[in-house]
Amino acid sequence: MNETNSKKITAKANTNIALIKYWGKKDESLFIPTNDSLSLTLDEFYTQTTVQFSSQLKQDKIIFDGKELSSKDNQYESITNFLNLIRKKANCNSKAIVDTKNTVPNSAGFASSASGFAALAAASSKAIGLNLSNTELSKLARRGSGSATRSIFGGFVQWHAGNSDQTSYAENISNNTNNIRIISIINSKSPKKISSRQGMRLSKTSPIFPMWIKVAKKNLQTIKKAIQSDNINLIGAIAEYNALCMHATTVTAQKPFTYFNKSTIDTINYIIHLRNNFNLHCYFTIDAGPNVKLICSKNELELIMDLLTKKFDLNNLVVAHSGSGIKYL
């Protein structure tokens, strides 16, 4: 980048829902996870980010959902730290204007950091003149937030844990996504008290953490076969079991904690009730927050939505399909 101002680049990234969870790091500074994870990129929740570098700026200017962040905000710091990585890679000192907009409810277990850092990685690297492959973008997005590693790609995505910066990245493993639907059942939009980062640290103190890694490895093999054979029921059953195993490490940590609230438990029970008493093939998964995501096939979506609206406000139910990977606008 030789001119005063770089090109202005806008990128859009979708968020993703982990069916095999990323939970635990073996290297905190490089975001190397303890286990491989697998997700479905969603079409509903996304981040759109515009970046331009300018040698005339004294510091980064970051506009987050229409509001300029103060340099004292945590979000400002994490975005600037990420931009520093890009500047180092491109050997350029210019500061940037970043304008980012989310349709993801912030910090409520919807991994807004996944789409956020994926969009930032794509827009900022292109704006500064780096021409990175999606694999390289995936490695870069990982340095902002682990789950962002997967949001570079669409469809079903596996993040290979690896053991170094170069070996820890994601790839699309299947676009066999026509029949799967995810219904987000929103019971809270308020920020969580324990960040994922902190939660992962605490969970590592659980005596069952080593078991979690073994189970996740086994679940990954089974779910990949289920994806190949388009077996939504098996995908749902494995994802549900995997989520419960992840959350088991929170309640058994040396300082126990949980992301569940009362509505989380009610919703889990309702989904089990639909399964047992209506013979519907619906399953749940839960991230580091209280909201529940229901997994089902498109054939049963209408029936399931009819029953869900008897219990939940329609405004709190969001149906998502599989979404695409990074796009430049």
- Kindly list the residues in this chain that would bind ligand 2P0 in the complex (CB under 6 A): 18, 21-23, 31, 37, 111, 113, 145-147, 196-197, 287-288
Nearer to ligand 2P0, 26 or 197 (CB): 197
Q: Measured between alpha carbons, how far is 85 from 144 in angstroms, rounded to an integer?
A: 10
Nearer to ligand 2P0, 170 or 183 (CB): 170
Q: Measured between alpha carbons, how far is 270 from 291 in angstroms, rounded to an integer?
A: 14
- Rounded (5°) CA angle 103-105-107: 135
User: What contacts 24+ positions apart, CB below 8 Å, involve 260-269?
Assistant: 260/286, 260/290, 261/187, 261/188, 261/290, 263/187, 263/188, 263/290, 264/187, 264/290, 264/291, 264/292, 267/185, 267/187, 267/292, 268/292
Q: Measured between alpha carbons, how far is 205 from 197 in angstroms, rounded to an integer?
A: 14
Nearer to ligand 2P0, 201 or 275 (CB): 201
Residue showing tokens 């170094």: 164
Nearer to ligand 2P0, 52 or 147 (CB): 147
The token duo for 136 is 């390289």
Nearer to ligand 2P0, 161 or 288 (CB): 288
Nearer to ligand 2P0, 94 or 203 (CB): 203
Residue number with the smallest Cβ distance to ligand 2P0:
146
Report in angstroms how near the CB of residue 142 gets to ligand 2P0 at its nearest: 8
Report in angstroms how near the CB of residue 305 gets to ligand 2P0 at its nearest: 25
Nearest to 151 by CA among 329, 293, 45, 14: 14
The number of residues making up the chain comes to 329
Q: Measured between alpha carbons, how far is 296 from 232 in angstroms, rounded to an integer?
A: 7
Q: Is 196 within 8 Å of 114 (Cβ atoms)?
A: no
Report in angstroms how near the CB of residue 316 gets to ligand 2P0 at its nearest: 20
Nearer to ligand 2P0, 147 or 187 (CB): 147
Report in angstroms how near the CB of residue 93 gets to ligand 2P0 at its nearest: 26
Report in angstroms how near the CB of residue 21 gets to ligand 2P0 at its nearest: 4
Nearer to ligand 2P0, 52 or 285 (CB): 285
CA 102 to chain centre: 13
